[in-house]
Amino acid sequence: MGIINVTPDSFYDGGKTNTLDTVLSQAEKMLTDGATFLDIGGYSSRPGAVDISVSEEIKRILPAIEAINNKFPEALLSVDTFRSEVAIKAVEAGATLVNDISGGSLDTKMYEAVARLQVPYILMHMKGEPQTMQSLANYNNIIKEVTYYFSEKINNARKAGINDIVADLGFGFAKNIEQNFKLLNNLEHFKILNIPMLVGVSRKSMIYKSLKITPDQALNGTTALHMFALEKGAKILRAHDVKEAMECITLYNNLKK
């Protein structure tokens, strides 16, 4: 899953795809490099990010979704949003997947909307909201608490009528570096949820802070953790660098043959 952020302030690529030409160029490169999905986000969810209105988020993502859909109609587009109104507009414009960092916690209408749209749903673990989440990284037993969270959320999503669900443990969302690594090291535990696992560690602070580098220098570390995540059962890698992630997947598949 290639990441396309149409935001000015995302932690790694903020402002890099701020015109339709740059969005289409990025989409073409990612699709050529082997991306199955393109994840379009108009709301920066980095720690402490500025909150924006629903109308501003829609204004950012709709032109990007429509342009990519027109030029690359075979592409599977995901909308990265926690707001049901944005999700509805995005799917009407051509998105085929909803990626919700809040798992329905920040918009009580999200499950109903996704069920009505009948599109797959990526359900992520987070506490609080992007502006407050880093102050909420406190757990007695993070594996148990995240498991209970998904058990409840998946049950509620299914009751609402959502059929296809993917779980995302939410690396970097209300979690410190040690907690991120503990979750990744125990990824295979979450196979008990019996749904596919998406892993999103690309260029995140668990990598660059551990290595005392910057996000720009974190590709090698990302690749290392991608291979580990595949070994632990990840089915989707959400990545800024599609070519390198696909190389990981190819080599992993060769190892498993």
Average confidence score pLDDT of the chain? 93
Q: What interhelical angle do 20-33 and 54-71 show, nearest 10?
A: 50
In 8-141, alpha helices (H): 20-33, 54-71, 84-93, 110-117
Residues 91, 118 contacting (CB under 8 angstroms)? no
The per-residue pLDDT for range 204-245, each reduced to its tens digit, is: 999 999 999 999 999 999 999 999 999 999 999 999 999 999
What structural domains and CATH numbers belong to the chain? 2-256 (3.20.20.20)
Task: Give tens-digit pLDDT for 42-76.
Answer: 998 776 667 889 999 999 999 999 999 999 999 99
pLDDT value of position 130? 77
Percent of the chain with pLDDT over 70: 95
Token pair for 234: 């990840």
User: What letter does residue 97 receive in the DSSP assignment?
Assistant: E
Could you tell me the pLDDT band of residue 135, with boundaries at 50, 70 and 90?
confident
Show the CA angle centred on residue 51, arms to residues 84 and 24, nearest 5°: 70
CB-based contact 84:110 (threshold 8 Å): yes
**Active-site residue list:** 204, 238
d(CA 182, CA 144): 12
What is the rounded distance in angstroms from the CA atom of residue 255 to the CA atom of residue 145? 33
How far is the C-alpha of 2 from the C-alpha of 72, rounded, in Å?
Answer: 14
What is the model's pTM? 0.92
Q: Select from 148, 85, 79, 81 the least CA-distant residue to 112.
A: 85
Q: Is the pLDDT of residue 12 over 50?
A: no
Would you state the structure tokens that stand for residue 71, as one six-digit string?
């030029």
Closest Cα to residue 221, out of 184, 188, 253, 257? 184
* pLDDT, position 9: 54
